[in-house]
Amino acid sequence: MKKFLLLAVIVSFLAPVVAKAQFESMKDSVVQLYGVVMTADSLRGIPSVTVKLRNQNRGTYTNEQGVFSLVVLKGDIIDFTSVGFKPKAVSIPANLEGNSFSIIQLMVVDTVYLPATIIKARPRREQFEREFIATNVPDDKIEIARQNTKTAQSRMLMQSLPRDGRESSSYVQRQSAQQQYYSGQFRPQNIFNPVAWKEFIDAWKRGDFKKKD
């Protein structure tokens, strides 16, 4: 019990000392950063430059003269970004003496080359109408579906595509049933069948017997 009380007394005395040491250490690592951001070619102050601590959601902007002020820690990395200029980064020295640091940050203009643009004269009304009429407008999905469901297109696809398993099985069954139906007797000749003649004439008109390339 005496040891416990002695330990509690020692902790109560050491706690303020440790807290004060931690506070002094943190206070020593805090740095007040001052600076001005200027153009590298003309040394003009750049307004509205983003001054942000890397990997942190904390920062500030430069004023109209390019001046800024920000509280940072020793060892932090500061990123400078602005539209039209190349980004820059500055590292606060970890062994900095004192609690203030000032910089003059120069930023280089970021040149962007746009693709060439050809300016032509405004076309005449007759030329515009001719080009507008000759413009090939791609088919929409409804028109593509309409073309794919045409009778001639469907018939061509049916002739070019092989039968699947179901169609082949159905064809064999029909042939077998027809053979069994006329078993033991002569089959009727379609030359005397008016329905067969009609189908032949319709096929002839459609061009089913024409030679295909």
Domain boundaries, the chain: 26-107, 125-185
Predicted local distance difference test score (pLDDT) of residue 128: 84
Q: What is the model's pTM? A: 0.45
Predicted local distance difference test score (pLDDT) of residue 62: 95
d(CA 105, CA 49): 11
Q: For every residue of 43-94, which 3-state class applies, written as one string? A: CCECCCCEEEECCCCCEEECCCCCEEEEEEECCCEEEEECCCECCEEEECCC
Predicted local distance difference test score (pLDDT) of residue 5: 53
Please state the rounded mean pLDDT for residues 30-39.
93
Q: In angstroms, what is the C-alpha Rg of the chain?
A: 45
Does the pLDDT at position 15 exceed 70?
A: no
Mean residue pLDDT across the chain: 80
Encode pLDDT of 149-192 as tens digits: 888 777 777 777 777 788 788 888 888 887 777 777 777 666 66
Which CATH architecture fits 26-107?
Sandwich (2.60)
Does the pLDDT at position 46 exceed 60?
A: yes
